[in-house]
């Protein structure tokens, strides 16, 4: 299962959906595309020193160090999109929100 944890300034995403075999898993593909879109948008609009990014196979951590309205909006958009994915595939992805990290 993909587990996603949002705080007001960060997102941590880990795991695999196991919906289908590697290379055919539409849930992993969708979640990955959403995460990649966030990273690309942040790289375009936010200075690198204002964010922390850690990524590896099956893991992503993204934190906004210096809050900017565009960064908060992009993070909110990612959360809502992943929640929609969760509503369609509740056994493959779990999205939660924590207020203290």
| Per-residue pLDDT reduced to its tens digit, 32-76 | 999 999 999 998 998 888 889 999 988 999 999 988 899 989 999
Categorize the per-residue pLDDT at 78 as very low, low, confident or very high, splitting at 50, 70 and 90: very high
**Fold adopted by 2-97:** Alpha-Beta Plaits (3.30.70)
User: For residues 98 and 22, what is the distance between their CA atoms, to the nearest angstrom?
Assistant: 30
- pLDDT bin (cut points 50, 70, 90) of residue 100 is low
Locate the domains of the chain by residue range.
Answer: 2-97
pLDDT digits (tens, 9 = 90+) for 7-37: 989 999 999 999 999 889 999 999 999 999 9
Q: Give the count of beta carbons closer than 10 Å to the beta carbon of residue 34.
A: 18
3-class SS of residue 23: coil
Rounded CA separation 14/60 (Å): 6
């Amino acid at each position: 299962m993909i587990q996603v944890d949002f705080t007001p300034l960060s997102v941590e995403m880990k795991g695999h959906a196991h919906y289908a075999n590697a290379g055919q898993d539409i849930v992993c593909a969708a979640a990955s595309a959403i995460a990649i879109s966030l990273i690309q948008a942040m790289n375009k609009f936010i200075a690198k020193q204002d964010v922390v990014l850690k990524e590896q196979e099956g893991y992503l951590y993204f934190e906004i160090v210096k809050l900017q309205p565009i960064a908060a909006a992009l993070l909110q958009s990612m959360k809502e999109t992943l929640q929609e994915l969760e509503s369609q595939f509740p056994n493959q992805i779990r999205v939660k929100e924590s207020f203290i990290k």
